[in-house]
Structure formats: C-alpha cells, structure tokens
Structure 1
Amino acid sequence: MNFIKKFKVLIIFVIILLAVVGYFLLKPEKPPRIDTVKVELTDLKQFVSVVGNVKAAKNADLAFENGGKVSKVHFDVGDHVNAGDVLAELNVADLQADLQQAKAQVSSAEATLGQYKAVLSAEQARLDEMKSGTRLEEIKIAQTKVDNAKSDLSIAKLDLETTKTKAQTDLENLYDDVINTLNDGHTKADNAINTQLDDLFTNVNNVDFTFEPNNSQLEVNALTARRDSLLELTKLRTEIDKVHTSNLDFDNALSVGKTSLLAVRYFLNLVGDVLDGDVSLSTATLATYKTNLNTAKTNVNTALTSISNLQQSILAQKNTNIDNINSIQAIVDGAEFDLRSAEDELNLKLAGYTKEQVDAQTAKVQQAEANIVSQRAIINQKNASVESAQAKIEKNIIHSPIKGVITKQDAKEGEIVSANTIVISIISELEFEIEAYITEVDISKIKIGNKAQVVLDAYGDDELFEASVVSIDPAERVIEGVSTYKTTLQFSNGVEKIRSGMTADLEIMTNHLENIIAIPLRAVLNKDNNKVVRKLVNGEIVYENVTTGLRGSDGKVEILSGIKEGEIIITFIEE
C-alpha cells in the first residue's frame, strides 16, 4: 500500500516538472526593453567638483594680463571696493571693434536663421497645399502673386537704372574737378620755385645759390632736388595738357600731380635745412627768405591736400556707388526670384501635382530643416567668437576679486604698463577663504569670477555657502604625481559660521548654457569614427550623425547639429 502511494506521488512530481520545463521552453520570447527620451530645449551646467580647506584670508596683488596704455582708473588708495568692481582698464578700442564685429556676425547669423525658418514655413505650407490639392481660389491668389511680382520687378529695375545713372553723375562731377585741382597745384608749385625762392638762386645756366651755404653736401642735394622738381612740374604740365578720355586717365593724372608736388615739397624742405644752417646772410635777408619759404611750403601743402582729398572723395564715391548698386541689384535679383517662384507656383496649381513633385517638395522641406540645424551650429560658433572677444577685453581690465580696501594704486591714466606687473593691491575685509588644488584636466575650465556652492563638513548638506574664484596660481604643484594648481575662493555669505581649517566640498560652475538641445551622454555612440544617436522613427531605429558641444555635469551633452526638438532618441536597448 505504501509503495502504491509513493508511486502516485512520484508520477505527480514528474508531471509538474514536465509542465514547468515546457512552459519555459515554449513561452513567447519577451521583446528587448528600449529606453527613450524626447528631445527638448533645456539648460546645461558644467561643474568642477573639488575638496578644499578654509584658511585665513590674504591680500590680493593684481596685474593686467596684457600690457598697454591705461585708459581709466576707478579707485584710489584707501577706497573700499566690492568683489567684481572694475578697478582699472587699458585702452581696448581695437578689441571693442572686434567685439562689435563678432556681435554683428551673430546678429547676421540670427537674421539668416530667421530667413531659414521663414523658408521652412513657406516650403511646409506648399507641401501641405500640394498634398491637399488646388482650389480655384488658390489659383486666383497665385495669379495675383505673379502680377504683384512682375510689378515689383519693374519697380526694382527702374530703381537700379536710376541708381546707376546717379552713381555715374556723382563720379563725373568729382572727375570734373581733377584738371582744375592739378592746375592749381602746378601754379602753387611753380610759384614756390620760381617766385617765392627766386632770390635764393642765380638765373645763369648753371643755377646756384646766391649765397654760400656752409654745408656743401646739403647744397648739392638742394640744387639736385630743385632740378628734379622742375622736371616733375614739366611732367605735370604735360599731363594736364593731355586729353583724358577715361576715369583711369584722370586717376593717373592725380597720381602724377601728387608725385610732382611731393618732389617740390622735398626740395622746399632741403632749402629750409640750408637756411637753418650757418649762412652768410644778414638777419633781415634771412628772415625774408624764411618767410617766403614758409609761404611756398604752405601753398604746396595746401595743393597736396587738395589732390589727396579729391583722390579720397573719388575712392569713397566709387565704394558708395558699388554699395548702392549692389544693394539695388540684390533687390532686383530677389524680385526676379520671387517672380520665378510665383510663376512656378501658378503653373503647379494649374497643372496639379505629381508624386515626383510632392517628393521633390518634401526634399525641399527636409533641406530647409537641415539649413536651420546647420545655421544654429553657425550661431553657436559666432557666439563663441563673441565670448572669445569678450575674454580678450577682460584681460585688459582689472576686477577686484575680493571685497576689501585698496592699499596700493600704481596704475595712472595715460601711462604704459607691462603685462603681469603688480599695479594694485587690496587687503581683504573678510577673514576666511578657501584653498583648493585643481588638477590640470579641470583647471582649463576655471576662470576668475566663477561662482561655487560650498558644503562645509562641519554643517553638512543642509546648509550651503556661496563663494567665487578670486585667484589661480600660474605655477603647478605636483601632488601624488599629478599636476595641480592652487585656486583661491572667497566666501560670499555665512562668514560668522566659518572657521579656519574646515573642510569644504566645492561645486564650481564653469559654464552655463540656456535653451539648448542636450541629451543623455549614454545616447551618443561612436560608429565608423562618427558620433551618432539612434532615433525612433515610426517604430524603426534610424542612426543619425551628430555634432556634440559642452558636456554637462548632469550626464547630458550639448547637441549642435543632427537632431531637433521633439524627436525621440534611444538611450538604452536591452541585449
């Protein structure tokens, strides 16, 4: 009886075992888990984490990173200053110009982005229209666009012709003054040599001074220069009497005139050197000669200025003409493009749309989207140029790194100072600061003025303190085989609770980007030497090349190009 009972139990156990094995062998395979995120605009912060120690506060000795001319000094010895106050500045006019140019490039790039967005909107609208078909009202609207585009083109072409005519007239008016200006210059130069200085030279074939200069070499130089000046005046007279048939002829004539008058001025300067030396002349005669010479110099310089001014006016007018014509030509080109687009649109509406046309319009939409992504990357590059220009300016400005009192002020307005020469010293009004040694990997991210959150071990995470970087030692200190750089931070709050020797956990913010596309770093893969992400499109996995930027401390990385807001990105696929 017991045997039968045991046999039944064994049979039941075997059945259960077979059922369990069969379940695991025959159950459907579970699909792999896929984690995704939706691409959104976000903020990205980058921190450097380091441990430091609280120490008694020290003084700050400050110097310009660059050398140059001091333009402004804002505080004197004994003045109280706050952290961040501008203490002194070098002349940065050229750097300011670079900064303005960089900002202008950003504005231009942003304007282009706006145009690309407008193009995308228009192309998308056209695609939607092509998919929905054409109505009679739309054909009428398209015809009106063609008529308006033709009218705009006619107006633009008329403006272009008017602008070209005015440009030619304005330039001819300036060239009309060329011969008169050269005649005036010739007259003044001839008068200088043959009238004002006539008494200084003999009228015989072998011209010489009417007195005996004491410097024989100077005498020879002056006589040679007089001969050269007369030859140049002859060339100028020949040039004036020529028939000038083109603007280039007039330009060459002005160059000849300028060369001739420069030769005359050189001669006059040599005569002045002769008269300034020891000469055998009475005081009255010498005074008369010098008066005549000064009159000659003034007249020749006036004539040279007139020629130079006319050359500059002609050049400026040419540039203005080119700018004006190019500006109107751009309007004409735009009007022609608008007309072609309007005519194409009308023709398409009249003929209806084929599948190939819809596909082509879809490609235009995709290209417009790609242009926007690319332009955003360009804007980021231009913004980087702005930051670079601002950084260069900052190297010519001394900010107070601490709150304190100025004890030394050697920067004087108008003086030239050398780079890294201490010109200002400040004694801190606070009692404590933080010293931390930052590795060479992270030190390039740190700069003066960076803010930091501080947790003191004595008080724990429940109480946060604030500090800012006030100095970075240029010399490294090797700690356990690693190069580090001593970085000093100054507290901004809670000074009454701080004691020397406390351990401080620092989170130094080194960068902060706002309203950018950033995704988890684990979503970016390396494939065929390219950085890619996996997009989930209609249930399918699509690989897309991306360009990355700043890596945040929260595990995210900035995406400069390759994906756009609203797309679904895969962050993990279960193997």
Structure 2
Amino acid sequence: MSTYAIRIGVLVVILIGGGYWWFSQTADPQITSVTAARQDVVEEIIVTGIIVPSDRIHLAFEQAGKVEDLFADVGDDVVVGEALARLGSEELTAGLQEAEAALAVESAKLEQLERGARPEEIAIQKVKVANAKTALDDATEDVRQKIRDAYTKLDDVVRNKTDQFFENPGTNPDFTLLISNSQLTSDLEQMRFSIEDLLRKWNTSLKDLNLSADVELYITEAKANIITIRVFFDMLAPVISELKPGGNLTQATIDGYRADISTARANINTAAINVAAAEKDERAKSSALTLAENELLLLEAGSTKEDIAAQRAAVQKAFATRDVAVAKRAKATLRSPISGTVSAVDISLGEIVSPNTPVISVITGEMLHIEVSIPEVDITNVYVGDMADITLDAYGNIPFKAQVSAIDPAETIIEGVPTYTTTLYFLEKDDRIRSGMTANITIVTNRRTGVIAVPGRAVVTKDGRHTVRFLEENGTIREGDVVTGIRGSDGSVEIISGVEEGDRVVIFIEE
C-alpha cells in the first residue's frame, strides 16, 4: 500500500472521529420524565422463613390492663379471628371518641376554609362590628361624663371646702389659720393660687370636649389635675388635724373643718377612680372593636392557599391519631389467629395482666407455622395480626395466606445483626404444605390508596431535604421541595405535598 493511500485513510478516520465528538458535544441532553399520577402505594417487607411443625400457640395481650371479659374456656373450639378475652377499654374508647371528635373539628375547619365565609357569616360579623362601635361610643361618652364630673367635684372641694381657710382665694390667697410653719403657709397660698389658674383653664378646655375631641388628651389632663389637687389636700390635711381650740376657734369649728377635709379627700378619690375605670372600659371597647373589624376583614378576604394546606395537614394528622386510637382499642381484645382448640386459660376476670405475657393457649393440631427472623430495621413496622402473602419454593408462584401471630420481644443476633423471631400461621390447612419448606413472605406494613406518587429515582435527597425536578412545557427544568410519605415496594414514593397530579417530573437526564 502506498504512503499516499495511508495518509488518506488516516485523514478519513480523523474526520469521522472529530465529527462524532462534535455532534456528541452539541446534541441536547436526553431527558426522561414521567407524569405524577394518583395510585396505590404499598409498603412491604419481603423475607424468607422456614415452615415448622406446631402443636400449640401461646397468645398474649400487647398492652397491660384489667381482664373484663373471658369468651373462651379450655376445650372450646375456636376459629380464626374469634375473640378469646378482652381488657377493660373505657379509657381507650374515650381516647377514640376524643380522636374522632378532633378529626371532626379539623375536617370542619378545612371545609370552612375551602368554602370561605358565607354571606350570612359576613353579615353577622358586620353586626358585631356595629355593636362594638356602639359600645365604644357609649364608653367614650362615659369617659367624657366622668371627666366633667371630676371637674365638678374638684371645683367644689376647692371652693367650698378649702376657701374658708383663705382670704381672697381666687386672686391673692392669704391663709387665715395661724400655724408656726411659715414656709408651709407660703406653700399653701402658692398652691391655692396655682389651683385657681388650673381650674380656670380646665373649665375652658372642657368646653371643647365634644364627640370629635380626642378623649385621651382630656383623660391625661384630668389625671394630672386630680394629682395636683390631691397634693394640695395632702399638705392641708395635717394642718387641720393638728388644730387646737383657742381664742375664737372652738372644738366644734375644728371638727367641722376636719369633716370638710375628709369629705373633700373622699370626693377626690372618687373622681380619680371614676376616671380610671371609664378609661379602662373605653380602651377595652376600643380593643373589642379592632378585633371585630379584623375578623370581618379576614372573613371578607377568604382563606389563603397556605392556610388551606396547613389545615389539610392538620386533618391528616387527626386521621392518623384516630387510626392509632382504633388500633389501640382493637388490641384490647385478644383474638385467635388460627382455628383450633383452647388448651389453656391462665387468666381470670378482674385480673391485671402484663403485656406480652402468655395468657391463653390454642392447640393447632396438624397446622404448620412459619418462623422467620426479621431485621431490627423492619420489625418496628410489623404487628401481630398483620396479613402476609406466602409463596413456597416447592410450588412456585402459588399463593398462600398467613397472619402474624407472635413477635419474640428478645433479639437474636444473626451475622452481627439483631433480628426478631416472628411466627406466622397459615389461615387454611393445606396438605401441600410440609415441614421444612422454604417460605417467601411478603408482609404488607402500610398502604396508601389514591395518593400522588412518583418513581423513587425522581426524588433527590440531600442534607435531609427532598426535591424533585419539574419539566416545564417550554422544556426548562426547575427544582422544587417536596414532602414524601411511604416508599412502595415497586419503587414509587408517596408525595404528601410539593407535586400536583399531572406534573411532569424528571427521572433521568442523559448528558
């Protein structure tokens, strides 16, 4: 072969390889997506066990309690699911009723949020607002009356109770009682002069105390004036109380003075209390009006998406609480998982039993059972009474039904992993089943019906955060947070929130 031909061949190879590289770099990535849809998500535990012969089973309650009923005695023949004994369940029934009531309340709240306020409810709230306005107007008018009354009382106590001790009280007060403390005499005269100006200005101010006036300003003014006049009387009262008869001053006159001062101070206190009480009531009525107006605004605005989503979550939680209460009450009744004959009853009416302590035994005759070791990561989802689908290696895919009858509370270490021996009994006798056969067991531990689900590959988990990638109509991809539920045995993942039915979610991007 000539050198020229070799060079041509090398050039062709380079061109082909370069073209492939170019197109592979510029081609759009291939995106695989699915449509989120409603489906049933089933969570299962799949394990393998061995069929062993069984002569009898020992049954125990899963919770402590007082034996209320005994339905079986030694020698009685029983069938699958028949009640053998029952614990007192008053508290469990009450708990269930409470859970059902809470569910009803949360469901009603959700219905109301989704429906929005009815016109009748808005009309009623408007009446409440109008009533609150009327109540506030009445309280405000009461404040104005109490302030005017305070002025009247204080004007009276000054002019009719103290001016008898002064000459020219309104212009140039001169204290007429002789006391040894000249400074006190001067202070009293100065105070009386200041109070005259205070009363005059207060009276002028009250002429503008009408419906449009800011009562808060008048309340502040009234409180300050009451304090000033109270201080004046606090200075004057000791002087009057220390007076002694002498000259033209008789004991009867002194007693009259003291009575006047006592009455005046009582009137001052009454005025202060009345103004404070009216102010408190007015503020309470104002707060009530604000609350009523805000409630009306909320009714007229309707519920937000966030409120509805939160309430839906509350309803789901209430459903779960109710289901737990149902399960707890059901566990108060001990039922036979198989058909057979009662061979022992180790409890009596009124006895307090402990959980997981065998109390009744049932002979199973020729019935065989399965023993299987379930790892600790799965055992928390398995309960006595759970149903299981069984296939035997000897018969391929022929199905058999069994039920979990007992779970050993003590662990067994297998290859360094804690496991728990679990016993399952076949629901029907079948001559094909033999001791020693290998049983493939599928236990349904959870089931969600008609929920939104996506393939597990669509959910990305990082730092405890679950996200999916959405494929928009224009071909762009956006990422969004989701709340996941159970993971089905088929790889599907329940989506509680974050994905709507019909959304396109990405499961794979081929670069």
TM over 0.5: yes
| Structure 1 residue 447 corresponds to structure 2 residue 447 | no
- 2:176 matched to which residue of 1? none
Instruction: Give the counterpart letter for 1:474 in structure 2.
Output: P
| Structure 1 residue 380 corresponds to structure 2 residue 307 | no
Distance 1:62 1:155, change over 3 A: same
Equivalent of residue 475 in structure 1, options 407, 410, 413: 410
Larger radius of gyration: 2
- Partners in 2 of 1:492 and 1:476 — Cα distance? 26
What is the CA-CA distance between 1:427 and the residue it aligns to? 0.9
- 1:562 matched to which residue of 2? 498
- Partners in 1 of 2:301 and 2:484 — Cα distance? 37
Equivalent of residue 397 in structure 1, options 333, 342, 345: 333
* Alignment check: 8 A CA contact 2:85 2:333 kept: yes
Instruction: Give the counterpart letter for 1:495 in structure 2.
Output: D
* 1:177-188 matches, cutoff 5 A: none
- 2:273 matched to which residue of 1? none
Equivalent of residue 34 in structure 1, options 28, 31, 34: 31
| Structure 1 residue 505 corresponds to structure 2 residue 502 | no
- Partners in 2 of 1:503 and 1:67 — Cα distance? 36
Equivalent of residue 466 in structure 2, options 513, 531, 544: 531
* Percent of pairs with identical residues: 38
* Alignment check: 8 A CA contact 2:383 2:404 kept: yes
- Partners in 2 of 1:572 and 1:386 — Cα distance? 39
What is the CA-CA distance between 1:433 and the residue it aligns to? 1.0
Distance 1:520 1:371, change over 3 A: farther
- Partners in 2 of 1:19 and 1:116 — Cα distance? 68
Instruction: Give the counterpart letter for 1:409 in structure 2.
Output: V
Distance 1:150 1:29, change over 3 A: closer
- Partners in 2 of 1:9 and 1:99 — Cα distance? 91
Determine helix, strand or coil for the equivalent of 1:495.
coil
**TM-score, normalised by the number of residues in structure 1:** 0.55
- Partners in 1 of 2:299 and 2:310 — Cα distance? 28
What is the CA-CA distance between 1:341 and the residue it aligns to? 5.3
Determine helix, strand or coil for the equivalent of 1:466.
strand
Distance 1:422 1:466, change over 3 A: closer
- 2:40 matched to which residue of 1? 43
- 1:427 matched to which residue of 2? 363
Equivalent of residue 23 in structure 1, options 16, 19, 22: 19
| Structure 1 residue 102 corresponds to structure 2 residue 38 | no
Distance 1:429 1:117, change over 3 A: farther
The farther-off stretch of 408-417 and 479-488 is: 408-417
Show CA shifts across 1:309-368 (max 9, x none). Answer: xxxxxxxxxxxxxxxxxxxx9xx88994588559xxxxxxxxxxxxxxxxxxxxx8xx52
What is the CA-CA distance between 1:416 and the residue it aligns to? 3.7
Determine helix, strand or coil for the equivalent of 2:66.
strand
Flag the structure with higher helix content: 1
Instruction: Give the counterpart letter for 1:111 in structure 2.
Output: A
Equivalent of residue 91 in structure 1, options 72, 88, 105: 88
- 2:54 matched to which residue of 1? 57
Instruction: Give the counterpart letter for 2:95 in structure 1.
Output: D
* Alignment check: 8 A CA contact 1:62 1:423 kept: yes
Determine helix, strand or coil for the equivalent of 1:101.
helix
What is the CA-CA distance between 1:116 and the residue it aligns to? 3.9
| Structure 1 residue 550 corresponds to structure 2 residue 486 | yes
What is the CA-CA distance between 1:381 and the residue it aligns to? 2.1
* Alignment check: 8 A CA contact 1:57 1:432 kept: yes
* Alignment check: 8 A CA contact 1:432 1:495 kept: no
Q: Structure 2: which 5+ runs fail to align?
A: 133-288
What is the CA-CA distance between 1:501 and the residue it aligns to? 0.8
- Partners in 1 of 2:126 and 2:11 — Cα distance? 94
* Alignment check: 8 A CA contact 1:436 1:488 kept: yes
Instruction: Give the counterpart letter for 2:497 in structure 1.
Output: S
What is the CA-CA distance between 1:446 and the residue it aligns to? 0.9
- Partners in 1 of 2:293 and 2:88 — Cα distance? 44
- Partners in 1 of 2:131 and 2:364 — Cα distance? 67
* 1:196-235 matches, cutoff 5 A: none
* Alignment check: 8 A CA contact 1:455 1:506 kept: yes
Instruction: Give the counterpart letter for 1:13 in structure 2.
Output: G
Show CA shifts across 1:112-143 (max 9, x none). Answer: 33334335xx9xxxxxxxxxxxxxxxxxxxxx
What is the CA-CA distance between 1:392 and the residue it aligns to? 2.7
Cα RMSD after superposing both structures: 3.5
- 1:517 matched to which residue of 2? 452
Flag the structure with higher strand content: 2
- Partners in 2 of 1:488 and 1:76 — Cα distance? 24
- Partners in 1 of 2:296 and 2:82 — Cα distance? 56
**TM-score, normalised by the number of residues in structure 2:** 0.61
* Alignment check: 8 A CA contact 2:85 2:334 kept: yes
- 1:273 matched to which residue of 2? none
* Alignment check: 8 A CA contact 1:88 1:411 kept: no
* Alignment check: 8 A CA contact 2:122 2:300 kept: no
